[in-house]
Amino acid sequence: MTLPLLAVRGVGKRFGGLSALADVSLKVAEGETVGIMGANGAGKTTLFGLIAGNLRPTTGSIDYAGRPITGLSPDRVCRLGIGRTFQIVKPFPALTVLENLRTAAMFGHAALRDVRAADRHGLAILDELGLADVADRSAATLTLSGQKRLEVARAVATGARLVLLDEVMAGLTATEVAAMLETLDRLRSSRRLTLLVIEHVMRALMEFCDRIVVLHHGERIAAGTPAEIGRDPRVLEVYFGA
Amino acid sequence: MSRLWAAALAALALALGVLPFAANDYLVATGLSLLMWLALTQSWCVLSKMTGYVSLGHVVFYGMGAYLVVVTWQRWPLALAVPAAGIVAALFAALVGLPVLRVRGPYFVILTFGLAELVRYALVAYEAASGTASRILFGAPDLVVIYFAMYALAVGATVLLALVARSRFGHGLRSLRENEEAAETVGVPVVGYKLAAFVLSAAIPGMVGGVMALRSTYFVVDQVFDPMISVTVIAMALLGGGDGPRGPVLGTLFLFTLSQLLWAHAPLAYMLILGTVLVVFVLVAPNGIVGLFETARERRRLGALAREPV
Amino acid sequence: MSVVATLLSGQLLFAALVTGAIYALVALGLNLVYGTLRMLNVAHGDVVMLGAYAAYWTFSGLGVSPLVAAPAIAMLGALAGWLLYRGVIRRLLGSGATASTRLEGNSLLLFFGLSIIVQNAVALAFTPNNRGYSHLDQVHQLAGVAMTGNRIAALAIAGATCVGAALFLSRSLAGLSMRAVIERREAAYIVGIDVDRVQAASFAIGFASAALAGVLLSMLEQFSPFSGFPYTIAAFIVIILGGLGNVAAGLGAALLLGVLETYGVALTSANLRSVLLYGVFVGALLLFPRGLFARRAVRA
C-alpha cells in the first residue's frame, strides 16, 4: 500500500479550557478529494490551521509525504507543498491580482525565483480560474466571488500538491457554485491536485468528493463515501435529529 | 517618468558632489545636513515603508553609533570606529528584533519610541553616574572629509532601498505588509524577513550618527537621542510617499528646503508654518508627493481615453 | 528611609494615588479616541496644557477658583474636540488617507502637525516661560499623612470623573454604543448605531477630560507651552499597557504607573525615573504584545 500523502494521527487542540479538536485521525491518498463536513464549531477550520501550521496541536502528529510536519511554521509547510485558502478571504489588497499570485509562485513550493517565470505561471492559473482579464487590477477592487477565486488561484500558484479549500463556495449563488465546481474539477486534473475540502454546500460535498469525514464537537464521528455518509445513522441524527 | 527621474537624480548627485569645491563652509554644512536626512530617511523606509511596521524610534541607531564613536575617540582610528558604529547598531537590532517585531501596529509604534527613550535615559544615567556628563572632542577631521563620508552613506542608503524594493526580498516584504498571515501561508518567511529588514535599516543610521558625532566639539548624550529626529524622518518619508527611493528624496528635499527658507526668513512663525504644512499635506496629499504625481498622471491618462473617438 | 518604611509610607501612597488618578483621567480621553477611530492622537497632552493655561488665566485674571471654572473649561474642551472632529478628522476619514497601511503614519503626522501649531501658538501668545499659581495649598493632616487641599481635590475630582466615565460606558445606552464601536466598528454600523455621532462624542469627551486634567494639574505644578508632551507619553504608556480601547484596564494601568513612578523614584533616584518607566513599559510589552490585560480570542 502506498504512503498516504497526508496522515493526521490522533490530533487534538485545546484553547485554554476549550477543547476544539479531540483525537482526530484521517489519511488522504494522493489524487483524492476528501471532504470535511460538520456543523459550525465542529473544529473544521481548526483542523486546517493545524495542518497548515497556523496552529500547533496539543496532542497528536501530522505527516506529509512521509515526513513529520507537526508544529512547523506556515511558510515551511507551504514550501513543502501544502496550500490553503482562508474562510474569510485574505488577499494582498493593494497588490494587483497577478502580483498576489507572483508572491505565491516565488515563495511557495514552486519556488520560481525569476519574476517572469512566476508571472507566466500565475497568468496560466488566472486563465484557468477566469481571472485573466483582471490580472492588473488591485485585489481590493474584486467582487467577493472574484476574491474567492483569487484565494483559490493563489493557493494553487504556490505549486502545492495538497490544497486545503476552506468553504470556497460560501456566499456564492447556485450558478456560481456550479461554475466553481467545474473549474475546480478541471484544476485538480490539470495540475494533479490532492484536495481537502471544508464545505457546507451539500452538492459540493456529494458530487465533488471521493470520501467524506464528518466532525462533530471536535471529534470524528463518521467517514466514508458520500453515499455511505448519506445513509450513516450517526450523521443523520446529528444533522436531522432523525 | 523614470528617465526624467534618473536624470534629475543624477543632477542632484552631481550638484551635491561638487558642492564642497564650489561653495563656502556654511553651504557645505547645509549640504551635509541634507545628506544626513537623506541617509536616515532612506534607511527608515527599508523597514517601515516596506513592511508597514512604522518605527518611531529610528534615532536609537543614530544615537548608539554616535556614542560609540565618541567613547572610542582618540583610541580607535575613525576608519574602524565609524563602521563599528554601524555594526553595533545592527547587532542591537538583531538582538531585540525578534521580540520587538512580534508587536504589531500602533503598539509597535509606541514600543519603538519607548525603546529609543529607554536607551537614551539609560545612557544619560550611566554617564551621570560615571561622572562624564559631557565630553569635549578635539581633532576631528575636516568638514570636507565628513561631507564625503556622509555623501557615501546617503548614496548607499538610496541604493540599498532601491535594491530591496525591486528584489524578491522586497516583494516578500510588501506582501507581508499587505497581509502578514496570508504572506506566511504562501511561503514568505515573515519572521526572518522582518528581522532582516530591521537589521538592514539599522546599519546606516549607526554610521550616520558616528559621522555626525565628528561635527560636535561638545558632546552631550541626550542630544543624539532626540526623538524629534525620528519624527522628522517619518515626516520626510510620508510627505514623499511612494514605495521606493523616489519618495524619500522628494520628501526630504521638500521639507529640508522649506525649513531652511523659513528659518532664514520667518524664524518666529517657522514652527507654526511647519505644523500647518504637515496638517494640510496629510489632508490634501495623503499619498505624498509621489501620490500627487501618480494622480496627475492617472487623470491625464483617463482624459486621453475620454477624448478618443469611440 | 529604609525600603520597608518607604513601601509603607502613607505619604507616598497618597502621592501615587494622585499621580495615578491624573494619569487615568488623561489616558481616558486618549483611549476613547483611539478605540473608536484607531488614530494615535499625539497632541492629546497639549489639550491638557491648554486646560492648565485656561485655569491659570481664570484664576489670576478673574480671580475665579479653578474648581469653579473646571466645568466650563471642560465644556470648552468638549467643544474644541467636537469642532476638530467635524472640521478636520471627518475629512481625513473620507479621503484615501486612512487605508489601514497608511493610517498610522498619516494620523501621526496630522496630530503631530497640530501639536506643533498649538504649542508654538501658545508660546508666541503667552511666552514660553513657566507659569504657576498657588491655590488650596493649606496642609491637612489625615491619619498621619500631610495632604494639601489641592491634591485632595485633584484626587477626588479625577477619581470621580474616571469612575463616572467607567459607569457611563458600562451602564448607559450611549456608553454601550461607544463600546460597540470600539469593539467592532463595521458591526456597529449594521446594528444601527450612528457611528459618526459616537466618534464625535469620543473626541468631545476625550478633550473634555484632558482639559479637566489640565485644570487639576495647574493647581499642583508649574507648566509651560511644552508641558503637554510628557503627559502624552504617559497616557500612551498607560493605554498600551492596558490594551488599546480597553478603558477599564487603562484605569488600572494608570494607577500602576502612578505607583511605579512614585515608589520607584523614592527607592532609587530621580535620575532613574525615566529608565524605570520605559524599562517597565518595554519589558511588559515584549512579554505581552497586546497589552497586560488583553483578552485572548478563542478561534474556532
pLDDT score of C300:
30
Q: What does the domain layout of chain C look like in residue ranges? A: 3-287
Mutate to test the interface with B, among A50, A75, A151 (most CBs of B within 10 A): A75
Q: Residue B185: which of A84, A95, A157 has the nearest Cβ?
A: A84
DSSP codes of every residue in B103-151 = S-HHHHHHHHHHHHHHHHHHHHHHHHHTT-S-EE---PPPHHHHHHHHH
Percent of chain B's residues with pLDDT above 90: 59
pLDDT score of C37:
86
- How high is the mean pLDDT of chain B? 91
- The whole-angstrom distance between B121's CA and the closest CA on chain C is 6
**Residue ranges making up the domain that contains B98:** 19-239
> For B149-193, what is each residue's pLDDT tens digit?
999 999 999 999 999 999 999 999 999 999 999 999 999 999 999
Distance CA A154, CA A141 (A): 16
Positive or negative torsion for Cα C274, C280, C281, C286: positive
Range scoring the smallest mean pLDDT among B89-103, B195-209, C161-175? C161-175
Distance CA B181, CA A57 (A): 18
Report which listed range, B42-46, C263-267, C293-297, is most confident. B42-46
In a domain, B290, yes or no: no
pLDDT above 70 (res C101): no
| B272/C110 CB distance under 8 A | no
Q: Strand, coil or helix: what is B69?
A: helix
Q: Which residue has the higher pLDDT, B119 or C241?
A: B119
| C108/B279 CB distance under 8 A | no
Positive or negative torsion for Cα C219, C225, C229, C232: positive
> For B1-34, what is each residue's pLDDT tens digit?
478 888 888 898 998 988 888 888 889 999 999 9
> For A64-115, what is each residue's pLDDT tens digit?
999 999 999 999 999 999 999 998 999 999 899 999 999 999 999 999 989 9
CATH number for the domain formed by residue range(s) C3-287: 1.10.3470
Searching chain C, which residue's CA lies closest to the CA of residue A43? C300
Q: Which CATH superfamily is domain A6-240 in?
A: P-loop containing nucleotide triphosphate hydrolases (3.40.50.300)
- CA torsion C6→C8→C9→C14, rounded to 10°? 120
Q: Residue B239 has which C-alpha cell?
A: 510627505
pLDDT, mean of residues C59-66 = 86
pLDDT score of A39:
85
**Domain total in chain B:** 1
Q: Predicted confidence band at A186 (pLDDT cuts at 50, 70, 90)?
A: very high
Q: Predicted confidence band at C82 (pLDDT cuts at 50, 70, 90)?
A: very high
Residue A143: CB atoms within 10 A of its CB come to 9
Beta strands A162-166 and A82-84, pairing class? parallel
Q: Which residue has the higher pLDDT, B42 or B266?
A: B42
Report which listed range, A230-234, B143-147, B206-210, C292-296, is most confident. B206-210
Close Cβ partners of B206 (under 8 Å, ≥ 6 residues apart): B61, B62, B64, B65, B68, B85, B86, B87, B88, B89, B90
> For B240-294, what is each residue's pLDDT tens digit?
988 888 999 999 999 999 988 888 887 768 888 888 988 888 888 888 888 888 8
pLDDT score of C296:
52
Residue C197: CB atoms within 10 A of its CB come to 13
- The whole-angstrom distance between A124's CA and the closest CA on chain C is 30
Range scoring the smallest mean pLDDT among A166-170, C34-38, C95-99, C175-179? C95-99
- How high is the mean pLDDT of chain A? 91
In a domain, B85, yes or no: yes
pLDDT score of C64:
85
- The whole-angstrom distance between B102's CA and the closest CA on chain A is 15
ipTM higher than the 0.95 cut: no
Q: Which residue has the higher pLDDT, A83 or C130?
A: A83
Q: In degrees, to the nearest 5, what angle opens at C-alpha A176 toward C-alphas A172 and A178?
A: 120
Range scoring the smallest mean pLDDT among B15-19, B64-68, C98-102, C105-109? C98-102
pLDDT, mean of residues C76-96 = 86
Identify the residue whose cell numbers are 528635499.
B253
Cβ A119 vs Cβ A96: under 8 Å: no
- Whether residue B228 lies within 8 A of chain C, CB to CB, comes out as no
